[in-house]
Amino acid sequence: MLDIRRIRSDLDAVRDALARRGESAAELDRVHELDARQRRLFVDRDEARSRVRALSKEVATLNREGRAEEAAAPQEESRCLGRTEKRLAEEAATVGEEIRSLLLRIPNLPHPEVPDGDGEADNPVVEVVGYDPDGYGAHQRVPHWEVGEALGILDNGRAAKIAGSMFTMQRGAGATMARALCQLALDRNADAFEEVRPPTLVTSATLTATGQLPKFADDAYHIERDDLWCVPTAEVPLTSVARGEILDEAALPMRLMACTPCYRREAGAAGRDTRGMLRSHEFDKVEIFAYATPEQSPALLEDLLARAVGLIDLLGLAHRVVEICAGDLGQSHHRSLDVEVYAPGCDRWLEVSSVSWFADYQARRADVRYRPAGGKGTEVVHTLNGSALAVPRVWAAILETHRRPDGSVAVPEPLHPYMRGITEIR
């Protein structure tokens, strides 16, 4: 959520920044207008309240001095003021609710360096590593769903029997490799990140802090009976770890990581990418996350990206980095970069990580602040996160990239320690 004070003092700049995303200013202007109204109401309300307090003290004094009969007049005046105050307070609250619900829907401002663009097609490729379109043999040009089924390690037919379409099931060495990927990702980041195993069913407040609610409720699984939501990513619980807290600057950056299942309804994607492991309602992912000061954030963004890219590199997969343009930026994102892995069997670039800087947008929703060392007062922290490794698409790219002419798949060496001795799948 944007800082209301910034909207108040710098409306034009905010409007221009939103325009870069292709966002209309209607809601913004409405917030600006409501804010002025609410502040006028506050002034009047506070004045009435202050007077009530003074009158109450007067009554108390009169009672104490045994002159209770003289208290009738101030009591009556106070009663009257109380009604005025209540009406003003209710009106201010109504306005406040409208402001909040608008603010929750207005997206974040893009970082000045975010490239212009209207959509995905305008996202500039920043870097390409290990990709040679002519360097793949026929044995690698087989989609992973065929490879997986042939090797008996992917059984989506039975997954559908168990849970319906758009679920996947890995078996044998395939399941082992899925877990090994998580272990590798955690171990590689344990140098700087505290491992957390958070709840993956969360309250509406938690899902609102990161931006999924209220606007994207259809994308998440909701357990109505208990009013809990299945997390779409560990970003959701991790961002709420310090919700409502004030951190010491010395504690920043606070780096957390978590391996969790991720649940997505894929409401807008029905019928898309239905084969294999490209898109499913449930998958495992290792997320890396940080609370930081504004000054620490740019370097952290680079570090998160380097860590995500480093893992893909380690697994011997061709990949590229794409910067998300203003028009394609997610609602909460201030700046964002995607890592895409090349899958030769599908002949597609698959998004396997999204590394993002949210500035104070999520932290203001979550009310996470810090006390600047030496300074007074508090500041809203910045949050950043990225997928260290999202299992399914990496798993798919491994099957396609490391398939050998004889149809077997070589397990990348960094996974061996976690594979119970399995070094190839045949």
**Which of 39, 67, 161, 275: binder of RNA (CB under 7 A)?**
39
Q: Is 404 in the site for RNA (CB under 7 A)?
A: no
Q: Is 183 in the site for RNA (CB under 7 A)?
A: no
Separation CA 107–CA 57 (nearest Å): 47
Please give the residues from 234 up to 293 whose contact with RNA meets the rule CB under 7 A: 246
Task: Specify the 3-state DSSP secondary structure of 86.
Answer: helix
Please give the residues from 72 up to 131 whose contact with RNA meets the rule CB under 7 A: 75, 78-79, 82, 93
**Which of 42, 167, 221, 418: binder of RNA (CB under 7 A)?**
42
16-24, 51-59, 297-305, 341-349 -> range binding RNA (CB under 7 A): 51-59
CA-to-CA dists, residue 372 to 33, 104, 224, 297, 382, angstroms: 32, 26, 41, 15, 13
In eight-state DSSP terms, residue 416 is: G
- For residue 289, give the nearest of 350, 340, 250, 238 by alpha carbon: 238
330, burial (CB in 10 Å: exposed 0-12, middle 13-18, buried 19+) = middle
**Which of 61, 94, 101, 165: binder of RNA (CB under 7 A)?**
61
Which letter, b or e, does each residue of 277-300 get, where b requires 16 or more Cβ atoms within 10 Å of its Cβ? bbbbbbbbbbbbbbbbbeebbbeb
Q: Is 172 in the site for RNA (CB under 7 A)?
A: no
**Which of 10, 13, 33, 57: binder of RNA (CB under 7 A)?**
57
CA-to-CA dists, residue 211 to 7, 61, 342, angstroms: 19, 52, 30
Q: Is 373 in the site for RNA (CB under 7 A)?
A: no
18-26, 35-43, 314-322, 387-395 -> range binding RNA (CB under 7 A): 35-43
340: which residues sit within 8 A by CB, 6+ positions away?
319, 320, 321, 322, 349, 350, 351, 352
Q: Could you tell me how many residues of this chain bind RNA (CB under 7 A)?
A: 32
Give min distance, CB of 60 to RNA, in A: 4
Give min distance, CB of 178 to RNA, in A: 22
Q: Is 60 in the site for RNA (CB under 7 A)?
A: yes
- The residues of the shown chain that bind RNA, judged by CB under 7 A, are 4-5, 39, 42-43, 45-47, 49-50, 52-57, 59-61, 63, 71, 75, 78-79, 82, 93, 246, 369, 371, 376-378
